Structure formats: structure tokens, C-alpha cells
Structure 1
Amino acid sequence: MPRQRERAQTAAAGPPVTPPATAAPDTRLRGLRLRRLLPTPTGTPFTFGYGAVLAVVSLVAAHLDTALVHTLHQGSSTDVAHLVRMPVLVLVASALWIAGGILSPYALALLFVLTALERRIGGVRTAGVFLLGHVGATLVTEVPTGLAVLVGHLPASSLHRLDYGVSFGVAACLGALAGLLGPWLRWPLLALFGGMLVTDLIAFTDPMTDWGHPIALTIGVASWPLVRRAHRARRLRPDG
């Protein structure tokens, strides 16, 4: 009779209670991962601040007269003539404009690439990689132009070409970031971006810029030993 009493007690207690689903923590985890793709004031202060400045400049420029904006672009151009007279000013000013507008591919790439790189090596080093690509690719393309004009291989008008934007810095940061990714993501990313650059070179619509992008990418790839060392050091930090 004990077994019958156990059945009766079980029937009186009702059906077994199913524990609540645990989908909420998974949803929160996915949301956290998605938020880490975008810059934040505390997590990625350099990317957030720089992106905010670029957004403000782009929005203000959208409401200015087109002729005035063109004049500002010319004054910020990192052409040979400006680099000789005021190199620091134009190298900084040219990085405050986004060629193609705030929704251009390089503007969107800046947010995702610089955010990912800054989360791995910090804001100061990310700014260093960006500046190295921006300045290095500019000088490597413009100095030969000035020499070619000097010896008569190019017309004097080549000293005043329009050159501004963030694309060289973004290309360098993408090259640096690739060195911190796993091989399954690193090589497809480099192959995809490199293919785009080769396509631009074949089209040859803007030779200096088209050569500057692969140069900037190469600068980023050359920084792999430094960014990997910085990434390892950051991971070993108690607060990292």
C-alpha cells in the first residue's frame, strides 16, 4: 500500500512545474555583443569623440553653400603646395572631412574598424595607427608628385590637386586590425578589401588616392608586431 499512497500524493500535488525559460540572459548577451561593435564614450573614447567631430562637420557642411564647402575643401587639401607651406595644419584639417559624405563606405568603416581596434589596443595606439596611415600614405603619394613636377614630368597644376578625407587612416586601421583577428577572418577581410583597391587601381580615376589606399593598408599590416604586443599587454592588465 505505500506505493499507492505515493501515487495519491503525487496526483494531489498536480503536474510538475516547468522551470522558466532562460532566453532572457541569452538575449542580453547578444545585445551586449552588438553594442560592442559601436563606439561608446567610456569604452572607445577616441573613436566616439572623433566620430562625433566628423558627424558635426558633415552636418554643418550639408547646410552651407556648395561653393563655400568647395573652398574649405581646397584649403584643407593635402596637396604639394599646401604641404610645403603649412604641413601640420592641412594634415589635421584634411582628416576632418569625409569624402562622399557621412554615409559613405569609409565613414561607416571608420566606426566599425576603429571601434574594434580601439577595444583591442586602446585609444592612444589606435589614434597612432590612424595618423601613421593618414600621414604616411599622404607623403608617399604627394612627395613623388612634387618631384615629378620639379623635373618636368608633370604639369604645375598637379601641385594643387584636391586631396582630403579619412580613407587613408581607415585603411591603415583595417590593416592593423586584421593582424589581431583569427586566420579564418583575417585573410578573407584582406582579400576583399585588397580586391576593392585593385579594382580602383584598374579604373585609375584618381591615381594618387588609388595608390594611397594600398600604401596605407600596407602600413597597417606592417604594424602587426606592435599592435599584437599592445593587445597582449592590454589583455594581461588586471582591468583589461
Structure 2
Amino acid sequence: MSWLGTADGASADTPAEGGRGDTTPALAGIPRQRRGGGPRASGTLGAPGPALAAAAASAAAPASVAAADGAGPGAARPPRTRWRPWRLLPTPIGTPFTFCYAVLLAATSLFADHADPSLVSELLRGSSTDVVHLARTPLLVLVASALWIAGGMASAYAVGFLFVLTALERRIGGLRTAAVFFGGHALATLATEVPVGLSVAAGQLPDSSLHRLDYGISFGVMTCAGALAGVLPGWCRWPLLAGVCYLAVADLLAYVDPVSDWGHLLSLTLGVASWPLLRRWRDHRTADVPLLGDLGHPALRAVRRL
């Protein structure tokens, strides 16, 4: 029973080596208690000492920071953003307005290429936004004139329609893209045809100017191009705006169709003037995207991938 009277090799008659000023002798048969911060106080039997606690905290800190940042070993890392070239073209889910409108324009272009020329000429004249038609049926001709592509599907405005409206719709949505397109189409048409009517009334232009053939999507495309430049980053905004301005000014200087060429420049100006409104629309749309993604519905995830 020697283990009852000794502790750490000390006899029961030996005074305890406690803290400073502690002269209480050790009781026989009871192990001596240590009160200081010695080796046993900071070991596994007692509470962890200051050095051990600091080491544990320093070892746990990187793990907690990594877990908070989502960069731990078991944390799922966000997927890398890959360039998807098909997003440059319209899709029925990602850009429904541009996709449906492009299908409609393709159908009317094929009809214009393969139908009876006399029938096509009659339809184009009936869809013309000249002064006479605007005075009689303004809403009808404003919509009908936007159903045709001057020059067909191989024209520059047809190609610009696909890329410009797709990029704009992906940033501000389909309804707002339609508002920008048809708003620019209607305002630029009225701004160019009303002066023609006034000039004819003043005797500065012949009466044949009241029946000039005017149709196509060029005004709407130019407005959307100017609007798109406002919601793109700076490194892409200014080259796009400079290129479109160059084309508009070059056509105006060529003086082939000054009324339409002035309309193109005016449409571009309308698109640039809409930058503050479009940026608010874009910010509102991007603020809603994370909320939709948090729902976790497969259909919503599929929409975001398109």
C-alpha cells in the first residue's frame, strides 16, 4: 500500500511543495495536489495550459478560415466560367423575344425571295412607313414595316440583329429589349418622315416623296446597338460604339438615301440616350438572378445555363 502514502516518489512525512506560502503538510494516504502551472497542470489530466491553448487556437484558425471561405479540402469549389460561343446566338429559352422575332424575319425573307415578285412588291408598298400610310394607319404600318429585312437575310442589319439583340436581351430581358427596339423604330421613323411631309407641304420636295418606300429593321437594330454599348464593359463599349458610328456617318456621307441615313444616326443617338434607364434595368435584373438560383429548381438552373 505504498502508493497511498506517497505521490511522485515523495514520502507522506515530507511537507507539500505547493504554492508560495503553503505550509500545510500532506495528509497520509492522500496524493499530494499541485496548484501551480507545472508540467502536470498543463498536461492531459488537468485544464490545458496557456501554451497548449495558444497552439490549439493557432492550429484551428486556418481550418476555420478555410471553411469560411469555402476553400477547405472537402468544400465544393465554384465551377470555372467557360466561354460558351452558342450564347452569342438566340435560344428559345434564354432569349425568347430575339429567337421568335428572328424566326419570323427568316420566314418573311424566304417569302420575299421565292414568292411572286408582284405580290411581294405590293406587300412591301403596303408596309411602307411613308407619310401617306403614317397619316392613315400609323400603328399598322409601324408594325408591318418591321416584319421585313431590306436586303434579305444576308444583309448587315440581319447579322447585326442576331448578335446585338441577343446580347441586349441577355442583359436586360426580352420585354425591355422589345421596348428598346420598337421604341427606336417608331421614334426614328416619325422623326424622319414628319420633316418630309412638312417639306412637301412647304413646296421644297415633290409630291412623290409622300410615297417613298421605307421598311425594314435597321432603325431598331441601330437603337439596340447604341443601347447595348451602355451595358457593356468599357473595353467593349467604346469599340462597338465607334464602329457603329463610323458606319452611320459613312452612309450619310455617301448620300444614297439621306432620309434613312439620318434615321440611322438618330436611332443610334436614341440608344445612347437610354443608357441610364438600361443600366437600372440591368442592375435590377442581375440582382434577381442569385435569388432565382437559390431556389434550386432544375428548370431555373437550366434557364441560367442557356
What TM-score does the superposition give when structure 2 sets the normalisation length?
0.68
Matches for 1:81-230 after TM superposition, within 5 Å:
81-230=132-281
CA distance in 1, matches of 2:246, 2:166: 23
Following superposition, the deviation at residue 29 of structure 1 comes to: 3.2
What TM-score does the superposition give when structure 1 sets the normalisation length?
0.86
CA distance in 2, matches of 1:119, 1:147: 40
Partner SS state of residue 147, structure 2: coil
1:37 to 79, 88, 95: 88
State the structure with more CA Rg.
Answer: 2
- Partner in structure 2 of residue 8 of structure 1: none
Partner SS state of residue 88, structure 2: coil
* Structure 1: stretches of 5+ with no match in the other structure: 1-24
2:120 to 69, 81, 84: 69
Structure having the higher helix fraction is 1
CA distance in 2, matches of 1:181, 1:38: 17
Following superposition, the deviation at residue 67 of structure 1 comes to: 2.2
1:234 to 285, 298, 301: 285
CA distance in 2, matches of 1:239, 1:197: 40
Following superposition, the deviation at residue 62 of structure 1 comes to: 1.4
How many pairs are equivalent?
A: 213
1:53 to 104, 129, 132: 104
Deviations 1:77-121, CA, capped at 9 Å, x for gaps: 000010001101100000000000011110011011000000000
Following superposition, the deviation at residue 66 of structure 1 comes to: 1.7
Amino acid in structure 2 at the alignment position of 1:239: L
CA distance in 2, matches of 1:92, 1:56: 16
Following superposition, the deviation at residue 166 of structure 1 comes to: 0.3
Amino acid in structure 1 at the alignment position of 2:281: A
Partner SS state of residue 173, structure 1: helix
CA distance in 2, matches of 1:39, 1:78: 28
Following superposition, the deviation at residue 239 of structure 1 comes to: 2.2
Deviations 1:111-146, CA, capped at 9 Å, x for gaps: 110000000000000000001110010000000100
Partner SS state of residue 200, structure 1: helix
- Percent identity, aligned pairs only? 63
Partner SS state of residue 239, structure 1: helix
CA distance in 2, matches of 1:197, 1:56: 28
CA distance in 1, matches of 2:123, 2:287: 45
CA distance in 1, matches of 2:263, 2:129: 12
Following superposition, the deviation at residue 65 of structure 1 comes to: 1.6
Partner SS state of residue 36, structure 1: helix
What is the root-mean-square deviation of aligned Cα atoms in Å? Answer: 1.4
Q: Which runs of 4+ in 1 moved over 3 A?
A: none
CA distance in 2, matches of 1:40, 1:204: 38
Indicate conservation of the 8 Å contact 1:132/1:219, yes or no: no
Higher relative contact order (CA 8 A, sep 6+): 1
* Structure 2: stretches of 5+ with no match in the other structure: 1-78, 294-306
